[in-house]
Structure 1
Amino acid sequence: MSSLIYGLCAVTSAVCAGLLLAAYRLEWYRLLLWSGLCFVGLAANNVILLLDKVVLPDVDLSALRLFVALIAMSILLFGLIWDTES
């Protein structure tokens, strides 16, 4: 059951990333770009979570998951700060 939830979270994040990046291609609003890139990182984080808990339960990928989440949130934070200054 947990593998289904992890998979659905990864799919949901990937769909959100796709929708945000598609909207960016139409509107050219930079906040859509930063949000889309953040969701790409969150989707990767969820895929790594699925690998960590279901596929490779003996291997600890928690440090990699945290690093990917940090990068994803840093991209969004950078975009929010940069768009505010310009």
Structure 2
Amino acid sequence: MIEMAMTFAFACFGLGLLICLWRVMFAPTIPDRILALDTMVVNMIALIVLYGMHHKSGLYFEASMLFAMTGFVSSVAYAKFILRGDIIE
């Protein structure tokens, strides 16, 4: 039963990732693209954690934490660049 649930979760997060990729490519404004990229980071984190659960390894959880930190910093930096035109003050 848990294998079916994990397969369903993989499919749902994979589909969400593809939809966000489409939104990044065809979004009308730059803030929409930033939000889609941030959502893609969240979906990738979920996929990494699910993959770790599937292989019963804690290493993937640590990798997902690093990916989350990197994704947060990049989203903030990109948004700041769009608003001010400069990242470093």
> Normalization by structure 2: what TM-score?
0.66
Q: Report what 2:14 is aligned to.
A: 11
- Partner-residue secondary structure (3-state), 1:64: helix
What whole-Å deviation, never above 9, does each CA across 1:43-71 have from its counterpart, x for those lacking one? 221111111112x11x2111101111112
- Once residues 74 and 12 of structure 1 are traced to their aligned partners in structure 2, the CA distance between those partners, rounded to angstroms, is 25
What are the ranges of 5 or more consecutive residues in structure 2 without an aligned counterpart? none
In structure 2, the CA distance between the partners of 1:6 and 1:41, relative to structure 1 (3 Å rule), is same
Give the root-mean-square deviation of aligned CA atoms: 2.4
Q: Report what 1:75 is aligned to.
A: 74
Q: Report what 1:33 is aligned to.
A: 33
- Once residues 62 and 75 of structure 2 are traced to their aligned partners in structure 1, the CA distance between those partners, rounded to angstroms, is 20
Amino acid aligned to 1:37: L
What are the ranges of 5 or more consecutive residues in structure 1 without an aligned counterpart? none
User: Mapping of 1:58-69 within 5 angstroms?
Assistant: 59-60=57-58, 61-69=60-68
> How many residue pairs align between the two structures?
81
Q: Report what 1:20 is aligned to.
A: 23
Which structure has the greater CA radius of gyration?
Answer: 2
In structure 2, the CA distance between the partners of 1:5 and 1:75, relative to structure 1 (3 Å rule), is farther
Give every structure 1 segment of 4 or more consecutive aligned residues whose post-TM-superposition deviation is greater than 3 Å: none
Measure how far apart 1:36 and its partner are: 2.4
